[in-house]
Chains A and B, each alone.
Chain A
């Protein structure tokens, strides 16, 4: 028995190719049924996310199974996609790396594990898995857990929005009852506001020199738009300020903020200044209860987190190597039928 993995991901295919091959949730049962009908293929799992479409199959004849998958995909999508492919043990290793977030666009991201679990559950529910893939995926989940808990691969946030959300959590804890004000509706402030909303923020006030732009963003994220002339009236009740105006001078000064902070009943204020030139005087960080982060400090934190994650790759690979060797031993013991180390021609690098 051999384990075959064939697919495309963000490393080798642009989104316009990936979207052609993507398998929607409602199509999954039908796709699994068709893939399992391929000659020489006994079990199958399809992992389809925004960054990858991968077919995992247990097969006694991987070359025939691979040919069948290629034919099926080219019929289905109408293109000859540049599939990469692996057989045992590289396929096992590939799945363990995918589940652990090592193959993700954002190194160490954890969303992929949930997506792989969902893909496996769907295949199991459809009766498309049996002993080999059950064992493989359950082992993959264990590997991902070990990698996450024994290394720092998921440590810290690696984007400006994620860093802002992490810091907001470290200041306020639960963000549900916090009021966010977005001053200047630029792209980065929009992404940051969206990140905060995704973490439970319910009240977002958007103010922009162009009111229509503020109204449009407020509409998209479920917030409230106010005229730029009125933002200071709403400011005293705000917990998090995301600022990115195009003003040439600071719009929030220490002289403005100090008396305001005295009336906030001890509530902290988190200011995310994404503007260049900066919207907020740097000295406001010295005010008791005010935490000011500008774009450089956020990017610096994100860079350091990513550097920490990159340093952990070797450690993660060693954990994965151990589990791959262990799994291959299990396969040899339970599937003593001939399974050469690799019967397929070399695949594209992943």
Chain B
């Protein structure tokens, strides 16, 4: 029954994406609150789902891949709501909505909502898992800022002053947002690892190796960016690639630790 909340959330994200596409296509896009409102409404519906599911499983609702995907989409929108208006990235909602919509649709349509036997009631383990996924949300949004950067760069290099270029934020600002979101995600993931160590979770195996590898990749990106050893363009390309890798490894790293 609680899945209806997700259908409503998916509808909101679809509305946000569709409205922006239509507005850009017809040349009437103006920075407005519509994206923010639809994204906030979708977030509220997702929150309602997570609350009800949490009541049912009696724990943080990240006990299987279905819940992890929903939680990840929720975390991505959470970071968007915290970051988007601050940086006035009016089109960020339009770029965020397809990602969260894809995550939700996959969660809803794929047969992955199986009851898990590994439900933890250790608060440190739950904290570790929840903060890890929120970190992934920040990395997801960094990748979205990265995609916006690449679109903007392509438009500028091609010397086209299109509707999209006119409405995207300045390219240097997108580079800064990408960097700050990677910093946010990296700090959250570090916090999650610390909580995992405090919980005494088993650090052997593929799950830990993949998580640490992703953490190390983002750490390397931050060092390269901070020391300005590579250009902002390459950092954003790398951040998009690392996030895609993180998504691929998500089914394995999303298993609750022993």
Chain A residues near B (Cβ < 8 Å): 149-150, 152, 155-157, 163, 166-167, 169-173, 265-266, 268, 285, 288-289, 291, 293, 297, 300-301, 304-305, 308
Contact = CB atoms under 8 A, between A and B. Distances in A.
Given A163-B161, A172-B170, A288 B231 contact: yes
A173 B149 CA distance: 13
A156 B166 contact: yes
B159 A293 contact: yes
A301 B165 CA distance: 12
Q: Please give me the 5 A-B residue pairs with the lowest Cβ-Cβ distance, nearest first.
A: A173-B170, A265-B228, A297-B159, A301-B161, A288-B231
A254 to B, nearest CB: 15
Interface in B137-195: 152, 156-157, 159, 161, 165-166, 168-173, 175
B27 interface: yes
Given A167-B161, A170-B170, A266-B230, 11 more contacts: A155-B27, A163-B161, A166-B161, A169-B170, A172-B170, A173-B169, A265-B228, A268-B171, A288-B231, A289-B231, A289-B232
A169 B152 CA distance: 12
Contacts of B161: 156-157, 163, 166-167, 301, 304-305
Contacts of B172: 171-173, 268
A169 B27 CA distance: 20
Contacts of B156: 167, 170-171, 291
Interface string B225-257: 000101111100000000000000000000000
A305 B228 CA distance: 37
A301 B159 contact: yes
Contact of B228 (A150, A266, A291, A304): A266
A171 B30 CA distance: 20
A251 B135 CA distance: 48
Nearest to B169: A173
Interface of B: 27-28, 30, 152, 156-157, 159, 161, 165-166, 168-173, 175, 228, 230-234
Contacts of B169: 173
8 contacts: A155-B27, A169-B170, A170-B152, A170-B170, A266-B228, A266-B231, A291-B157, A301-B161
A170 B159 contact: no
B28 to A, nearest CB: 7
Q: Which of A169, A266, A288, A308 has the most CB of B within 10 A?
A: A266
A318 to B, nearest CB: 15
Q: Which of B161, B169, B231, B234 has the most CB of A within 10 A?
A: B161
Contacts of B159: 293, 297, 300-301
A307 to B, nearest CB: 12
A162 to B, nearest CB: 11
A166 B156 CA distance: 11
Contacts of A289: 231-233
A344 B235 CA distance: 69
Contacts of B232: 266, 289
B179 to A, nearest CB: 10
Contacts of B28: 150, 152
A301 B161 CA distance: 6
Contacts of A300: 159
A308 B175 CA distance: 30
Nearest to A301: B161
A171 B157 contact: no
Contacts of A266: 175, 228, 230-232
A285 B28 CA distance: 31
Nearest to B235: A266
